[in-house]
Chains A and B, each alone.
Chain A
Amino acid sequence: MNSSVKSVVRMHMKDRLSWFYLPWCIMLSSFVINLILAGTMQEEQLVTGGLASIFIYMLVSGIVSVQHTFPFALGFSVRRRDYYSGSMVMIVAVSLFTSILLCLLSYIEDASGGWAVELYFFHIPYITDGNALQQLVVFASVLLFMYLLGFAISSLNRRFGKMGLYTAAIASLVLGTLFVYGVIYLEWWKGIFDFFDGRSAFEVGLLLLPVSIVLSGISYALLRRSTV
């Protein structure tokens, strides 16, 4: 890692609020509410989707981050390449770090019988079915995917402005419609169903990785020609 890339990572590190405190505050407040709920409910097991908040946060954060830090970094004479590399390092590191914490909490949740009130917030069927490493990969790959999706959307906005976003939105709408048409009328659903049937969360997580790499590559291509 050259010194400029390191500086970009350290620039991101200065924003601990957005990278660490905020996502955990949002998720943990959801957790606390669920904990109270589970505590008041008797005899019943509570499985919630509150964990999704951290993944959604990652998407939003990916969008906001480029918007704020790209013009800032370029204004400080940082190369686009170094900004990109530093941001990627930061995203991977945060995803891994967050995943480790999530795994840890999932393990504690399981071992403590759902925090003694049978709340299943981190330890969710299917998602955390595998062993510790597999769980880690599931969390990390989804976090990474969400962040990079946000990053790519924001890079598109940087490069082509609002028109670029609208065009991409319309294009994905058209493609989505065609896809749904295919799924329903051309009976693609059979193939899709077969494809996912019997695949573990771990395997799906692994499949997300190449998609993430493509998103990352697209972001780089867009940022290389972006202006401030």
Chain B
Amino acid sequence: MGNQIDDSRPIFVQIAERIEDDILEGGLPEESQVPSTNQFASFYGINPATAAKGVNLLVDQEILYKKRGIGMFVSSGAKVKLMEKRKEQFVEQYVVTMMREAEKLGITSEQLTDMIRERGNRA
């Protein structure tokens, strides 16, 4: 039980994020079957209805689709779609925060881009 589910954020959102991560990292290729609601529920030790809500969130966004009587599958094109969505979040989550912190420390945007470039070269 457990498996790092955080009790201070809606669990269905966290389940959706886990599935998204799996799709982005290749763990769940397009057109492959997604574990069942009950499998999610028992793996994370959560209520099956909550797990279903997380899965349905992705169905609504057409990341997943339902095959009647078989289960949930990853849509083709899901990965690209997710990358677009995550890129938007990336700006908000990392770039904006970074720039705010940089401002506090008196780092100019030129210095900042230099720092990023340097890291990029090293990596």
A and B in contact, CB less than 8 Å: no
**Which B residues lie at the A interface, using CB under 8 A?**
none
**Which A residues lie at the B interface, using CB under 8 A?**
none
